[in-house]
Chain A
Amino acid sequence: MAERKIKVIIAKPGLDGHDRGAKVVARALVEAGMEVVYLGLQQTPDAIVRAAVEEDADVIGLSILSGAHMANFRKVRELMEGSGLGDRLLTGGGIIPTKDQDKLKEMGVGKVFGPGDDLQEIVEYIRVNARRVSG
């Protein structure tokens, strides 16, 4: 039975333009056989979730290095719940202090990654925790 590819939205909300991490993860996911919709920079939470709905994405990944992670993850999570995407994985990375990571977990955000985290571990995490649909 052929499995549909895991589809991942990758986006950077806010003014932060440091997209090396987001792009490297995007490449790695494609190399690993997933489908990536790379939205790019200055995305709003609304636009990100709208794309996830349109694409029927399994995963949303946010990249935030500017310190604005709490507000952005919270807003995206709320919009996901409100749009029927409550069962999809919300993950991401950037510069996110450990104490904030715990707060994000309570919000329903998955694991988030930071500088030095292993690329292949990130890919595996997404593979294992994405919403999966077979058929």
Chain B
Amino acid sequence: MKGLPVARKNNEDWKEKYKGSGLRDADFSSISGRPLQPLYTWEDVAGSDPEARLGWPGNYPYTRGVHPSMYRGKLWTMRQFAGMGTPDQTNERYRFLLDKGQTGLSVAFDNPTLYGLDSDHPLAAGEVGKTGVAVDTLADMERLFAGIPLDRVSTSMTINAPAAWIFAMFLADAEKCGIGFDKLRGTLQNDILKEYIAQKEWIFPPEPHLRLITDLMAFCAEKVPQWNTISISGYHIREAGSTAAQELAFTLADGFCYVEHALAAGLDIEDFAPRLSFFFNSHLDFFEEIAKMRAARRIWARAMRDKYKAKNPRAWLCRFHVQTAGCSLTAQQPEINIVRTALEALAGVLGGCQSLHTNSMDEALALPSEKAVEIALRTQQIIAFESGAANVIDPLGGSYYIEKLTDDLEEEAESTFRKIDELGGVVKAIEQGFFQREITRAAYEYQMALSRRKKFHVGVNEFANPGQELEIPLLEIDESVEKDQVAFLRRTKVGRDNGAVRDGLQALKAAAAGGRNLMPPLLECARRYTTLGETSDALTAVFGKYREQPFY
């Protein structure tokens, strides 16, 4: 190693040449606005002990990955988020995707379902099946998964406000198929905190929703042990316009809030924590995303071991699903979205995700066409089987840039946690509009950067093709979907034992008011073909409705 004075001279030499060489008139900050050095060197990571900061994959602090063998042992699950029209139509799409090689299912529900409304609710008019699949009762779950072995494929369901009663319908369906709950593998998004912050799908105020979540966690710990009870999400926070640092900090802060609520409800951290999972965005600024994911693992492991004193190492794991950034995709020149998605997917893999969804090129225009979703899936398969990215664990580990960025993001997250604590915790911070205002400010600054041409969006504010016609087929959801779904719902309601439904709802309300675990009565309601909306109404009668104070 060269002596210090020579090294310093080489450093100064480079700096001089760099300054003297003339720079492009461009913004070199990250997409989040993070100022970046032109170069990262050993000096940026000097004094950082790699044994302590990086360690080994599958070992504390998990910076390099949650499993010892990562993708050599098992590839990430290729799990395309899908849902459209009626449950029958969606079932067809699931079989198509499984046939094309996806390895896990992911359910996208329509707007009325997401809000706990039946397809014949006045607010559902014009919305049924448009942005996902309509599910009103157990009969729809039966159609949705017809012919799909739920004990052999894992299922993720993106549902939040009515997650517990949608899950009850899923369990009831598995039961009817003769599948024991202990065989079921999958994930429920079930992350209400980020709803108040970003996705905006709530029914009740925070406390009743949090109680439903801890009820579900307790139930699953005993009865559905392979199920991930929450997918603590940053994806939507990022889509709402946050920076990478905000996405990381806000998501983990939500996670800590769930841990604290579960502990307060008397649950054992060794039981519930191994079944918490996470969900991050993978945006276009390649290196920032990889660093973010590595920082997440290290931060969570430390907090779970040292702050919350979990002894089970599985409780220290930040296992996560990744979706490529929808908000990075354009309506203009949609074919080039394939390229954006590929870069983002690669970042997710190099970041060590356990499960991945790649967006389709028509993301900004419609629900995915068959052609578009097949290309999205093939993108993952090329990464897995051709690019070599899966051959070596944490291949960017040791990069000066990546390690410095990982450290910086971790430090910023810790600082944000302190700020949230000062505000009284996540729920109080939500009430004060802290997250909402931070996110809107970041979104506004990015939009202004585009307007001022400091940041670019190819095809939109640069390299545009004005007047270009669309040349890709778009999926259309037929108007008959709503009619068919409503008719099916009506038939289901006529054909069931309505007395039993009424009794079940009474028992549910009593359990809700009486503070008992709501999963057993919800499961009973599901078995009796109680509708989503009837269940929502019964619980609303006890818990009340939430009206947000809109912050921007």
If A116-B330, A118-B461 touch, whether A24 touches B444 (CB-CB below 8 Å) is yes
Question: In this assembly, does A108 line the interface, its C-beta being within 8 Å of a C-beta of chain B?
Answer: no
Contact assessment for A119 and B447 in the assembled complex, using a CB-CB cutoff below 8 Å: yes
Question: In this assembly, does B200 line the interface, its C-beta being within 8 Å of a C-beta of chain A?
Answer: yes
Contact assessment for A114 and B331 in the assembled complex, using a CB-CB cutoff below 8 Å: yes
Contact partners of B427 in chain A: CB under 8 A: none
Contact of A39 among B126, B127, B550 (CB under 8 A): B550
Give chain B nearest CB distance to A24 CB in angstroms.
5
Contact assessment for A119 and B451 in the assembled complex, using a CB-CB cutoff below 8 Å: yes
User: CA of A19 to CA of B200 in the docked complex: distance in angstroms?
Assistant: 9
Question: In this assembly, does B267 line the interface, its C-beta being within 8 Å of a C-beta of chain A?
Answer: no
Contact assessment for B550 and A119 in the assembled complex, using a CB-CB cutoff below 8 Å: no
Give chain A nearest CB distance to B350 CB in angstroms.
27
Contact assessment for A66 and B447 in the assembled complex, using a CB-CB cutoff below 8 Å: no
Count of CB-CB pairs between chains A and B under 8 Å = 81
Question: In this assembly, does B443 line the interface, its C-beta being within 8 Å of a C-beta of chain A?
Answer: yes
Contact assessment for A66 and B131 in the assembled complex, using a CB-CB cutoff below 8 Å: yes
Question: In this assembly, does A103 line the interface, its C-beta being within 8 Å of a C-beta of chain B?
Answer: no
Question: In this assembly, does B423 line the interface, its C-beta being within 8 Å of a C-beta of chain A?
Answer: no
Contact assessment for A27 and B444 in the assembled complex, using a CB-CB cutoff below 8 Å: yes
Contact assessment for B199 and A66 in the assembled complex, using a CB-CB cutoff below 8 Å: no
What mask results when residues 448 to 461 of chain B are scored 1 for a CB within 8 Å of chain A, else 0?
10110000010011
Contact partners of A114 in chain B: CB under 8 A: 331
Give chain B nearest CB distance to A40 CB in angstroms.
3
A72 to B, closest residue via Cβ: B126
User: CA of A24 to CA of B552 in the docked complex: distance in angstroms?
Assistant: 8
Which of A3-60 touch B at CB < 8 Å? 14-20, 23-24, 26-28, 38-42
Contact assessment for A17 and B126 in the assembled complex, using a CB-CB cutoff below 8 Å: no
Contact assessment for B127 and A41 in the assembled complex, using a CB-CB cutoff below 8 Å: no
Contact assessment for B451 and A118 in the assembled complex, using a CB-CB cutoff below 8 Å: yes
Contact of B548 among A40, A66, A95, A118 (CB under 8 A): A40
Contact of B444 among A17, A28, A118 (CB under 8 A): A28
Contact assessment for B200 and A116 in the assembled complex, using a CB-CB cutoff below 8 Å: no
How large, as a class, is the contact surface on chain A? 20 to 34
Contact partners of B457 in chain A: CB under 8 A: 116
Give chain B nearest CB distance to A61 CB in angstroms.
13
Contact assessment for B332 and A116 in the assembled complex, using a CB-CB cutoff below 8 Å: yes
Question: In this assembly, does A115 line the interface, its C-beta being within 8 Å of a C-beta of chain B?
Answer: yes
Contact assessment for A68 and B127 in the assembled complex, using a CB-CB cutoff below 8 Å: yes
User: CA of A113 to CA of B414 in the docked complex: distance in angstroms?
Assistant: 39
A30 to B, closest residue via Cβ: B552
User: CA of A59 to CA of B97 in the docked complex: distance in angstroms?
Assistant: 46
Question: In this assembly, does A120 line the interface, its C-beta being within 8 Å of a C-beta of chain B?
Answer: yes
Contact assessment for B201 and A38 in the assembled complex, using a CB-CB cutoff below 8 Å: no
Contact of B443 among A24, A39, A120 (CB under 8 A): A24
Question: In this assembly, does A67 line the interface, its C-beta being within 8 Å of a C-beta of chain B?
Answer: yes
Give chain A nearest CB distance to B433 CB in angstroms.
11
Contact of B331 among A27, A40, A67, A115 (CB under 8 A): A115
User: CA of A101 to CA of B542 in the docked complex: distance in angstroms?
Assistant: 44
What mask results when residues 325 to 336 of chain B are scored 1 for a CB within 8 Å of chain A, else 0?
001001110000
What mask results when residues 388 to 406 of chain B are scored 1 for a CB within 8 Å of chain A, else 0?
0000000000000000000
With an 8 Å Cβ cutoff, the count of chain B residues facing the other chain is: 37
Contact assessment for A26 and B552 in the assembled complex, using a CB-CB cutoff below 8 Å: yes
User: CA of A71 to CA of B123 in the docked complex: distance in angstroms?
Assistant: 13
Contact assessment for A115 and B330 in the assembled complex, using a CB-CB cutoff below 8 Å: yes
Contact assessment for B239 and A20 in the assembled complex, using a CB-CB cutoff below 8 Å: yes
Contact assessment for B552 and A115 in the assembled complex, using a CB-CB cutoff below 8 Å: no
Contact assessment for B130 and A67 in the assembled complex, using a CB-CB cutoff below 8 Å: yes
Contact partners of A24 in chain B: CB under 8 A: 241, 440, 443-444, 447
Give chain B nearest CB distance to A96 CB in angstroms.
11
What mask results when residues 56 to 82 of chain A are scored 1 for a CB within 8 Å of chain B, else 0?
000000000011100100000000000
Contact partners of A40 in chain B: CB under 8 A: 548, 550
Contact assessment for A16 and B111 in the assembled complex, using a CB-CB cutoff below 8 Å: yes
Among B440, B444, B450, the most chain A Cβ lie within 10 Å of the Cβ of: B444
Give chain A nearest CB distance to B91 CB in angstroms.
23
Contact assessment for A23 and B448 in the assembled complex, using a CB-CB cutoff below 8 Å: no
Contact partners of B126 in chain A: CB under 8 A: 14, 67-68, 71
Question: In this assembly, does B87 line the interface, its C-beta being within 8 Å of a C-beta of chain A?
Answer: no
A120 to B, closest residue via Cβ: B451
If A39-B550, A40-B550 touch, whether A15 touches B451 (CB-CB below 8 Å) is no
Contact partners of B330 in chain A: CB under 8 A: 115-116
A67 to B, closest residue via Cβ: B130
Contact partners of B365 in chain A: CB under 8 A: 95
Question: In this assembly, does B364 line the interface, its C-beta being within 8 Å of a C-beta of chain A?
Answer: yes
Contact assessment for B123 and A23 in the assembled complex, using a CB-CB cutoff below 8 Å: no
Contact partners of B327 in chain A: CB under 8 A: 20
**Could you pull out 23 A-B pairs where Cβ atoms are within 8 angstroms?**
A15-B112, A15-B114, A17-B199, A18-B200, A19-B200, A20-B239, A20-B240, A23-B440, A24-B447, A26-B552, A27-B440, A27-B441, A41-B548, A66-B127, A68-B127, A114-B331, A115-B330, A115-B331, A116-B330, A116-B457, A116-B461, A119-B447, A119-B448
Q: A66-B131, A116-B330 are in contact. List 15 more A-B contacts (CB 8 A).
A: A15-B117, A15-B124, A17-B201, A19-B200, A23-B440, A24-B241, A26-B552, A27-B440, A28-B444, A28-B447, A66-B130, A114-B331, A115-B331, A115-B364, A116-B332
Q: Which 3 A-B pairs have the closest CB atoms?
A: A17-B200, A40-B550, A116-B460
Residues of B within 8 A of A (CB): 111-112, 114-115, 117, 123-124, 126-127, 130-131, 199-201, 239-241, 327, 330-332, 364-365, 440-441, 443-444, 447-448, 450-451, 457, 460-461, 548, 550, 552
